[in-house]
Amino acid sequence: MTARPSIRATRRTSPTAPAEALAPTAAVPTTPLRPHTWMDRTAAATAPVLLAMSIDLPQGLKVGYVFALLLIPVWLPVLARFREARLFGVLGLAAIAMGAVLTAFSSAGQSTSQTLLAGNSFMVLGLVAGTGALLWARTVIGAPMVAVWFGLGMVAAIPLGNGLSSVNVWRFGLSLPLTVLLLALAWRWSSRLMEFAVIAVIGVVGALNDARSGSAMLVMTAALVLWQLRPSSPGGRGSTVRTLLGLGVLAAAVYTIAQAVILGGLLGERTQERTQAQIDTSGNLIVGGRPEAAATVELVVNRPLGYGSGALPTLSDILSAKTGMSFIGYQPNNGYVERYMFGNGYEVHSMIGDLWVRFGLLGTALIVLLFVLTFRAIGDGLARRAASALVVWLAIRMLWNLCFSPIDSSMLLTMLFLGVAFVPVATRHRADPSGTVALRTLPSSRSAVRR
């Protein structure tokens, strides 16, 4: 009788693979048709560390990007194992080309910078290559260990950044690396208790250090992790659509409660005053806290196709941005617009706006794909009650960054999220003639499939 490949058989063929408990995916990537060598495992651990450390090289390159590009021969075939991974790569490369084309057109009427063009191009190229490298590493050491090594890289890079010298060391230097590392360790150890402990401690510390949005995201994460623990009928599976609708209701509730807590002075007088001032500006905390969105609308109206990854702002662009910001009640004549938003290219403080300005319609297409990937990962993982706290938090953070965070500072978490949350393609493989048993992909459940 021919033996049927099984998950248990596959575990024996890869004894070094850790348990990928609480997996966020609907299916699990197949193992390679050859055993992993020590060099594979070393490279798979090194890639996330170097990417997370984000060590700069000339022209916008980074050490991690170079390492990921050197791994192209091993991660390029792996993209086919994950839904939309190849589309993501193609769109990323096409956006780079579109940014260069738009820059060439813009050069007829405004100044351009080849250094800026190279920096923006390498940033997107690094995102594509880095994501590919993390996906490959995921097939070698498992998603939880990829996240652990990435978190270790972020922690190791703390002294290399300027967060320790900022006014708010916790918010700008420590919170993100520690959150990633500790939640990754909880995922690796399959510990819901540790997840809740990490969320509670970091959430309280963040709330006391003026990290309003960060603490609210952790509250949402805790609520969604807790929601997965509710009793269910045997064989039952939640609806992804209902899950996403519930996520929207939860977000609205957290926003309302958090705003009431802040305005009540429970998180300190400074946080209360800043929040009230932002509400007074436009009548809404989100709009008042992100006036750059109004500037983005004006730029879109002026040039719907985008500006180019190497284009430099004109005086007309700056005045248009100020007009939009004034419309919502913000006073833009304070130096912020000239120095930060348009001091060296275009920076409109959202991934949506930044990708559109620099890479035009293909940058917008990339944004749409990122939204789809995020909602798919979080919706499917929660519906199956298999999403780890780290993946839930990264998905919430991803949605926030798409709308409200600069693309440059969002790259690390975007790369990590894509690396651990891409949904694998459901496939079946048979044992090859050499005797290597490949994993038969099965739907995930609460008792998460290993790997």
Find out whether 328 and 347 touch, Cβ atoms under 8 Å: no
Quick one: pLDDT at residue 163? Answer: 76
User: Helix/strand/coil (H, E, C) string of the chain?
Assistant: CCCCCCHHHHHHHCCCCCCCCCCCCCCCCCCCCCCCCHHHHHHHHHHHHHHHHCCECHHHCEHHHHHHHHCHHHHCHHHHHECCHHHHHHHHHHHHHHHHHHHHHHCCCCCECHHHHHHHHHHHHHHHHHHHHHHHHHHHHCHHHHHHHHHHHHHHCHHHCCHHHCCCHHHHHHHHHHHHHHHHHHHHCCCHHHHHHHHHHHHHHHHCCCCHHHHHHHHHHHHHHHHHCCCCCCCCCCCHHHHHHHHHHHHHHHHHHHHHHHHCCCCCHHHHHHHHHHHHHHCCHHHHHCCHHHHHHHHHHHCCCCCCCCECCCHHHHHHHHHHHHHCCCCCCCCHHHHHHCCCCCCCCCHHHHHHHHHHHHHHHHHHHHHHHHHHHHHHHHHCCCCCHHHHHHHHHHHHHHHHCCHHHHHHHHHHHHHHHCCECCCCCCCCCCCCCCCCCCCCCCCCCCC
Quick one: pLDDT at residue 383? Answer: 78
Token pair, residue 335, equals 């130096």
Quick one: pLDDT at residue 263? Answer: 52
Whole-angstrom distance, CA of residue 129 vs CA of residue 150: 15
Whole-angstrom distance, CA of residue 173 vs CA of residue 205: 13
Token pair, residue 388, equals 């780890």
Quick one: pLDDT at residue 264? Answer: 54
Quick one: pLDDT at residue 202? Answer: 94
CB crowding 187-199: b at 16 or more within 10 Å, else e: bbebbbebbbebb
Count of CB atoms within 10 A of residue 437's CB? 20
Quick one: pLDDT at residue 366? Answer: 96
Mean pLDDT by 10 residues, the chain (451 residues): 40 38 40 72 97 93 97 96 94 97 94 95 97 97 97 95 81 92 96 94 87 84 86 58 64 60 54 55 54 90 95 94 87 89 93 96 96 88 86 93 92 96 68 34 36 39
Domain definitions of the chain by residue range: 37-230+241-421
Quick one: pLDDT at residue 232? Answer: 65
The residue among 266, 166, 167, 293 whose CA lies nearest residue 212 is 266
Quick one: pLDDT at residue 125? Answer: 97
Quick one: pLDDT at residue 102? Answer: 97
Beta carbons within 8 Å of 395's beta carbon, 6+ residues apart: 374, 377, 378, 417, 421
